[in-house]
Amino acid sequence: MARNLGDCVPLLVMLTRATRVATEQQLETFAELYPVFQGSCTAATRRLLLAGLLTCHDLTIRMREIHAPLFTWRVGDSGPDCATLAADLARGLTEAPWRRTRLFWATRKAVSLVGGISGVNRQPLQVQHDLCTTQAYLKFLGQGPHPPDLFWVGEDVLRFEFPHLFKKKRPDATILQSPDCPIRIIETGGTYSADDLRHIHRCYARERIPYELW
């Protein structure tokens, strides 16, 4: 990689291993949390676009406000109030305003450089969901610093690199303490019914791994 792109690698890794897509504001937040960035994130993004490592599009989308998990479960806890959770998720989406938003994805060229999976070509409703997962990831980073053996892995990387970990339902992300030791499951809520949430709880409770619903 050209020398002037070396400090941009963390942005590419985020978009190929931890998440699928990010807004401009999310990229700025990531840059603030990641100490390698000494200059402007906007300038770094521009360099990656010119190099063909990022692509961007403007879409009109809704995005729920994400501040903390709606529900957290640990082994020994009772299950969630699924009807209330479903209503909270629906309200969060319907109350979110439509906004024209610039979104960024890593390209296949970026994948050939840093590995992982490109999130390009997702449908708009999937993009809204993916942006919430990105926001949850940024909240995780903001809780750091984390031990070097603790890392966040997105759904696509789980599918291709860790297919043995989740047989019944693959989460939107998981936090691993080692390649074979998931310590927390991350699920981002969508237009889920109470029955959907009961199914999610049964699957993850059976794994006996703490999970968060965002």
What amino acid occupies position 65?
E
Which pair of structure tokens corresponds to residue 159? Answer: 């599918």
pLDDT (tens digit per residue) in 52-74: 999 999 999 998 889 999 999 99
Asked whether the whole model's pTM tops 0.85, one would answer yes
DSSP 29-45: HHHHHSTT--S-HHHHH
Write down the mean pLDDT value for the chain.
91
Q: In angstroms, rounded to a whole number, what is the distance separating the alpha carbons of residues 47 and 44? A: 5
pLDDT in tens, 128-142: 999 999 999 999 999
Q: What is the pLDDT of residues 4-26, one digit of tens each?
A: 677 789 999 999 999 999 999 99
List, for residues 153-181, the tens digit of each pLDDT value: 999 999 999 999 988 899 999 999 987 89
Nearest CA-CA partner of 54 in 86, 76, 21, 25: 21
Domain ranges of the chain: 3-213
Say yes or no to pLDDT of 1 above 70: no
- The secondary structure element, H or E, covering residue 105 is strand 99-106
Residues 178-194 as b or e (16 or more Cβ within 10 Å = b): eeeebebbbbbbbebee
> Which residue, 155, 146, 152, 147, is CA-closest to 20?
155
Question: Is the predicted pLDDT of residue 3 greater than 60, yes or no?
Answer: no
